[in-house]
Amino acid sequence: MTRESILTTGGGSTGTLLSVARVTTLLTSILVTMASGSNYAFSAYGPQLGSRLHLTHTQINLVGLSGHVGLDGSAPLLGRLVDTRGPPVPMTIAFLTLLIGYSGIRQFYISGLPEGISALSPFGLLMLLLCGLLTGIGANAGLACAINATAKSFPDHARTTSTSLVLSGFGLSAFVFTTIAHVAFPGDTSSFLLVLAIGTSLPMILGFFLIKLIPLPSKSNDHPECFVIARRLSSNRRQAPLSEADARAPLLSSDTYEDADVLRCQAPLSSTLDVGSPDTSPLTPVDEGQSHLSSTNLSNESRYNGVESAPLPDISGTDLVWSVEFWLLFTILALLIGTALMCSTDINNVGSISQALYAKSTPIYDDGRASQWQATQVSAISICNFLGRIIIGMTSLQYTVVLFMKPATLGILVDSSKRFLGLRRPMFLSLIAVLFIISQITAYHTSDVRQLWKASSLLGLSYGCSMGIFPSLTIDWFGLAHFSENWGYLGLPLVLGGNIFSIAFGRILDAHSPVTSALNPQSTEVGDGHEERCLDGRDCYKLSFGLTILACCLALCLSVYAAWRDQRTAKALGVDFVASEDDGRDDSLRIE
C-alpha cells in the first residue's frame, strides 16, 4: 500500500501568528536576505577594483558574473541541503564563504599588482573569480535558509506576505551597503569591501541562532474548511460539482483525481492525512465534522479560490523539456534578465557607465566624485528592484499559489487588472518587456550622468517585477509539485544570458579603451594613470543598447505569443475570470 502524507496547517503545536519566535525568525530572515543580496553592490567597487588590478572591462564583468554564477549555480545543491538539514549547516557555509570571499577580494584590492607587473596573472584572475564565486554561494545559502524558514513558519493566510517581505530585503541589499559605505567611508573602496565582508557574514551568525522552523498555530480562524488543489483531473472527466450525497462521501475519490498535490486544512485537524492508493480507501476521516465538506461550503470556497475546477498541472522532467511554455519562459528570461545583468545601466556595469559619462562631462576627473555617481545608480536600481518585488511579488505570487486569502488582501496592481481589465498573468510579461524597452531607450538617450538615475530606476523596477512574475508563471504552467526543480532549470538562462550579454558589453567597452578614445586635451585625470577608462561618454557603450533594445523587443514578441497561447488554452478549457456579483467578492475562476 502506498500512502502520501499531506501536510495541513491545522496541526502542530499551539501558538499565535505573531509569536515572539515567529517574528524573530521573520526579522532575522529579512536581515539575512539583505546580506545575501550584496552581489548587486558590485558596481560600487568593481571599477575601482579593475583600476587597481589593471583589469579589462571584460575581466571586470567576469568577476561580477562569478558572484551570480555562484548564486544561481549552487541553488539545487544548497536547496536540498536546507530541506534535509535545516538552517544551521547552510548558515555556517554562508558565514564562511561570505567572509572568505569578500576578504579575499579586499586583499586583492589592497595588495594591487607587484612592482613591474602590468597585468594580473591568469592564476591571480582565477583566484579572484573564486572569491567572487564564494560570495555567490554564501549569498544563496543565506537566502535559501531565510525563505525556507519563513515559508514553513507562517500559515497560508500570511505566508506570501512574509516571504515577499523577506525577498524584498534581497533587492534592497545594494542600497543598504552602498549607503553605509559612502556615508561612513566616502571614496574608500577598501573600507567598503571590509563593510561587505563583515556586514554580510555577521547576519549569518544571527541566523544560525535565531532562524528556526516554528510550528504553525494549532488554530486558524480564517477558513474552517479544508481545501484541495488537485494536480490534474482524470483523463476522462472533469470534476463534477458535489451533490448533497457527496457531502458525506470521502473528500478525495480515486476516480476524480489521479492524485493530490496539496491539502490545506485550516480547521484543527491532525497534522497529516493519508491519501490512499487507488485500490484503497482514499481518506480515513479523523473527525467526520472536520474531514468532510458540505457542498455549499466547498462550492463557495471553490468559486472564491478557483481551485475546484482548475487544478494545477504537474509537469516536470522530460515533459518539461518538451513543453513550449518552458522554452518560452527560458528564452524570455535569458533576454530580459540578460539585459538587466549587462546593459548600460545594469547592476554590474553601471559603475563603468557612470564613469564614462562623468569623464565626458568634466575637465577634471575626480575618483571620489565618480564613486558617488556610481553609488547613486546602484541605490536607484536597488530601491526600485525592492519596489518591483513588492508590487509584483506580493500580488501575483499571492494569487498564483492560491493561499486562500481574501481578494481584498491582494495587491493593487494584479487585483485591479483582474477586476477592471480582465488581464491574465502572462499578459504582465508583455508589460514588463515594454518597461525594459523604455529603460533601454531612456539609457540610450542619456548623455548626462546627472540624468542616468532615471534609466537606472526604470531598469531596477523592470528587474524586480520580472523576478516577481516568473516564479508565479512557473507555478501556473507547470504546477506546485516540482516547483523548486522547475524553477532551478529556469535559473539557467540567468547564468547563460547574463554571461553572454555582459561579456559582449565588456568587449564593446574595451574597444573604446584610451588607446582609441578621442581624449579631450582639457581633461585631467586624478587617480591611477594606468587605468583603462573610456572618456567618450555614451559613445563608449551605445552599441550595447542596440543589442539590448533588440533583445527586449524579441522578448516582447515572445511575451505576446506566450499570452496568446495561454489565452487560447484557457478558452479551450473554458476557464475565465468573472466578477462575482452576488456575494460581493472580487473575482472568481469559472469553468464554463
At 434 the pLDDT is 94
What is the rounded (10 degree) CA torsion for 140, 143, 145, 148? -120
* Residue 216 contacts residue 269 (beta carbons within 8 Å): no
Please state the separation of Cα 58 from the chain's center in Å: 26
- 479 phi/psi in degrees, rounded to 5: 95, 175
Q: Which domains does the chain have, with CATH numbers?
A: 17-214 (1.20.1250.20), 226-315 (no CATH), 323-592 (1.20.1250.20)
Which comes out higher in pLDDT, residue 42 or 241? 42
The pLDDT value given to residue 327: 92
CA 391 – CA 375 distance, rounded (Å): 24
Write out the three cell numbers for 495.
547564468
| Coil vs helix vs strand at 285 | coil
Retrieve residue 441's grid coordinates: 531607450
CA separation for the pair 299, 248 (Å, rounded):
15
What mean pLDDT comes out for the span 330-335?
A: 91
Q: Decide which of 61 and 242 is more confident.
A: 61
- Identity at 56, one-letter amino acid code: T
Radius of gyration, alpha carbons of the chain: 26
Q: What confidence tier does 417 reach under pLDDT thresholds 50, 70, 90?
A: low
Is 273 in contact with 252 (CB distance < 8 Å)? Answer: no
pLDDT-derived band at 402, boundaries 50, 70, 90: very low
Contact yes or no for 305/404 (Cβ under 8 A)? yes
What's the pLDDT tens digit per position in 451-482? 888 988 998 888 888 876 777 777 778 876 66
Rounded CA separation 415/507 (Å): 44
Contact between 388 and 171 (Cβ < 8 Å): yes
Dist CA 397 CA 470 (whole Å):
9
pLDDT of residue 481: 63
Determine the pLDDT at residue 491: 74
199 or 159, higher pLDDT:
199
pLDDT tens digits, 181-226: 778 887 788 999 999 999 999 999 999 999 988 877 654 444 433 3
Q: pLDDT tens across 302-325, in order?
A: 433 443 445 567 787 788 888 888
CB 68 within 8 A of CB 501: no
Residue-level pLDDT at 486: 72
Question: Which residues have CB under 8 Å from 340's CB, separation 6+?
Answer: 346, 347, 436, 459, 462, 463, 466
Helices (H), 417-526: 426-444, 452-478, 483-489, 492-510
**Band of pLDDT at residue 234, cut at 50, 70 and 90:** very low
pLDDT in tens, 39-92: 878 877 888 898 899 988 788 888 988 988 888 778 778 877 887 788 899 999
Percent of the chain surpassing pLDDT 70: 64
Confidence band, pLDDT 50/70/90 cuts, at residue 369: confident
pLDDT at 104: 96
Worst-scoring range by mean pLDDT, 2-16, 101-115, 432-446?
2-16
The phi, psi pair for 274, rounded to 5°, reads -100, 135
**CA–CA gap between residue 500 and residue 339 (Å, rounded):** 10
Q: Report the sign of the C-alpha dihedral through residues 527, 530, 536, 541, in that order.
A: negative
DSSP reduced 3-state for 457 = helix
Q: Which of 41, 44, 296 is nearest to 186 (CA)?
A: 44
Quote the pLDDT of residue 213.
82
Q: What is the sign of the dihedral through the CA atoms of 263, 265, 266 and 272?
A: negative
Cβ contacts of 103 within 8 Å, gap of 6 or more = 197
Phi, psi of 577 (to 5 degrees): -90, 130
Q: What is the sign, positive or negative, of the torsion defined by CA atoms of 196, 197, 202, 203? A: positive
pLDDT exceeds cutoff 70 at 275: no
Q: What is the mean predicted confidence (pLDDT) over 4-27?
A: 61
What are the residue ranges of helices labelled H in 490-587? 492-510, 542-573
Alpha carbon distance 365, 234 (integer Å) = 69
How many helices (DSSP H) and strands (DSSP E) are in the chain?
Answer: 21, 8
Per-residue model confidence as pLDDT tens digits over 503-523 = 888 788 777 765 434 444 444
Q: What does the pLDDT read at residue 384?
A: 87
Helical axes 324-340 vs 542-573, angle rounded to 10°: 150
CB 162 within 8 A of CB 154: yes
298 pLDDT higher than 90: no
pTM: 0.64
Q: Are 497 and 335 in contact (CB under 8 A)?
A: yes
CA-wise closest residue to 73 among 127, 140, 128: 140
Whether 540 shows a pLDDT value over 60: the answer reads yes
CA distances from 45 to 48, 319, 403, 498 (A): 5, 44, 41, 19
Residue 274 neighbours by CB under 8 Å, 6+ apart: 3, 4, 5, 6, 283, 284
Q: How confident is the model at residue 422 (pLDDT cuts 50, 70, 90)?
A: low
Position 137 pLDDT exceeds 80: yes
Quick check: 300 pLDDT over 60?
no
Confidence (pLDDT) at 360: 78
pLDDT at 128 over 80: yes
So what's the pLDDT on residue 169? 82
* C-alpha to C-alpha distances, 369 to 81, 362, 373, 374, 517, nearest whole angstrom: 44, 11, 7, 9, 22
Mean pLDDT of all residues in the chain?
71
pLDDT at 196: 93
Mapping DSSP onto H, E and C, the string for 63-100 reads: HHHHHHHHHHHCHHHHHHHHHHHCCHHHHHHHHHHHHH
Band (570; pLDDT cuts 50, 70, 90):
confident
Whether 542 has a pLDDT exceeding 70, the answer reads yes
For residue 32, pLDDT beyond 90: yes
Written as one string, the DSSP assignment of 304-371 is HHS-SS-PPP---HHHHHT-HHHHHHHHHHHHHHHHHTTSTT-TTTHHHHHHHHHHHH-SEE-HHHHH
SS (H, E, C) 199-266: HHHHHHHHHHHHCCCCCCCCCCCCCCCEEEEECCECCCCCCCCCCCHHHHCCCCCCCCECCEEEEEEC
Angle (nearest 5°) at CA 455 between 496 and 562: 50
* Residue 102 scores a pLDDT above 90: yes
